[in-house]
């Protein structure tokens, strides 16, 4: 049984939309999908695989009013096509300026399940306060287990400004704080977010956590926000909000391209490969 086809068919029925009307809704979002293609998706004769088709699935979830990631996660691992071929992932300390303290910290944490969690969606919401310092960071992950056993998500946070208070970590949804390793002198923390239950193969979970600066007066000016991807992620959303005046200039890290400064910066990407995304700016 094709779980994606069944879920799509059920969502279409519950929403009460015909395929023609659904096609029109997608077109309004700038996504072109034929009725024939929609028909084969809901009957299971074909599945979304190309990037444009995967983008359509994200919009379908919104149009059909199902939870984000509900349809996407049922697609499972894409078929053997170039960029999605599995390869040995880099160590969890990859992309950090100094890998040794991160590796030392992770010796005390259980990271065995990290490679078995499919990154369906990563959503970051960052607020830069009126004093131009990073005020808060909220993160939402949609994760799917590729095998029985995952029960936690490991978060690594690094700051370039040493010898200042590290942010407080708060579990917001479907998780709780496990072991926490902090190194204020070298500006990083590593924390386990425990799910509260063990995931079975194919099972998914949505978790949220928050980092909040404990003393904004001691925080340095913020000049960038980076999200580091060790494994492929199907969807990434970053919303960066400036409570005061926007910066004078902004560059998007994905391609080092200039961006028009504004009070809110948005980065939305599909099929994200290992690397770094985000923004840097000057005041």
pLDDT at position 96 is 61
Name the average pLDDT for the chain.
84
* pLDDT over 70, % of the chain: 86
Hey, is 34 helix, strand or coil? coil
Higher pLDDT, 183 or 99: 183
Architecture per CATH, domain 99-282, reads as: Sandwich (2.60)
- 3-79 has which fold? 434 Repressor (Amino-terminal Domain) (1.10.260)
* Confidence band, pLDDT 50/70/90 cuts, at residue 103: confident
CA 267, chain centre distance (Å): 11
Interval 157-201: pLDDT, tens: 877 665 567 889 999 999 999 999 887 777 778 899 999 899 998
pLDDT at position 101 is 67
pLDDT at position 92 is 66
Q: Where are the beta strands (DSSP E) in the chain?
A: 117-128, 134-145, 152-158, 168-173, 176-183, 188-194, 204-212, 224-229, 233-242, 249-252, 257-259, 264-272, 275-282
Q: What's the mean pLDDT in 220-245?
A: 92
Q: Is the pLDDT of residue 209 over 90?
A: yes
Interval 3-22: pLDDT, tens: 888 999 999 999 888 898 88
Q: Is the pLDDT of residue 219 over 90?
A: no
Burial of 271 by CB count in 10 Å (0-12 exposed, 13-18 middle, 19+ buried)?
middle
pLDDT at position 88 is 47
The residue ranges of every structural domain in the chain are 3-79, 99-282
This model's pTM is above 0.85:
no
Q: What's the mean pLDDT in 114-121?
A: 90
Q: What's the mean pLDDT in 246-250?
A: 96
d(CA 218, CA 185): 15
* Confidence band, pLDDT 50/70/90 cuts, at residue 72: confident
- Give the number of residues written for the chain: 283
* pLDDT over 90, % of the chain: 41
Q: What are phi and psi of 221, to 5 degrees?
A: -60, 140
Q: Would the CATH topology of 3-79 be identical to that of 99-282?
A: no
pLDDT at position 95 is 61
pLDDT at position 249 is 97
Q: Is the pLDDT of residue 78 over 60?
A: no
pLDDT at position 87 is 42
């Amino acid at each position: 049984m094709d779980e994606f086809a069944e879920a799509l068919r059920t969502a279409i029925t519950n929403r009460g939309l015909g395929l023609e009307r659904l096609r029109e809704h997608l077109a309004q979002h700038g996504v072109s999908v034929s009725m024939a293609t929609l028909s084969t998706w809901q009957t299971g004769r074909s599945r979304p695989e190309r990037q444009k088709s995967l983008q359509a699935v994200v919009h379908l979830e919104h149009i059909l009013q199902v939870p984000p990631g509900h349809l996407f996660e049922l697609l499972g691992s894409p078929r053997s096509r170039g960029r999605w071929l599995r390869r040995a992932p880099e160590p969890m300390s990859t992309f950090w300026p100094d890998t040794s303290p991160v590796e030392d910290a992770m010796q005390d944490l259980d990271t065995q399940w990290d490679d078995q969690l499919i990154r369906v969606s990563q959503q970051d919401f960052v607020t830069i306060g009126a004093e131009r310092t990073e005020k808060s960071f909220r993160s939402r992950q949609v994760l799917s287990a590729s095998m029985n056993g995952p029960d936690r998500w490991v978060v690594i946070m690094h700051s370039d400004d040493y010898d200042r208070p590290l942010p407080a970590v708060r579990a917001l949804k479907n998780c709780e704080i496990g072991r926490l390793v902090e190194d204020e002198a070298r500006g990083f923390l590593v924390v386990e977010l425990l799910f509260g239950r063990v995931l079975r193969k194919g099972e998914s979970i949505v978790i949220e956590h928050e980092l909040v600066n404990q003393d904004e007066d001691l925080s340095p000016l913020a000049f960038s926000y980076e999200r580091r991807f060790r494994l492929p992620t199907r969807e990434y959303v970053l919303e960066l909000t400036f409570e005061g005046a926007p910066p004078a200039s902004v560059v998007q890290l994905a391609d080092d391209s200039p961006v028009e400064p504004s009070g809110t910066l948005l980065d939305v990407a599909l099929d994200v490969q290992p690397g770094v995304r985000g923004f840097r700016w000057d005041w």
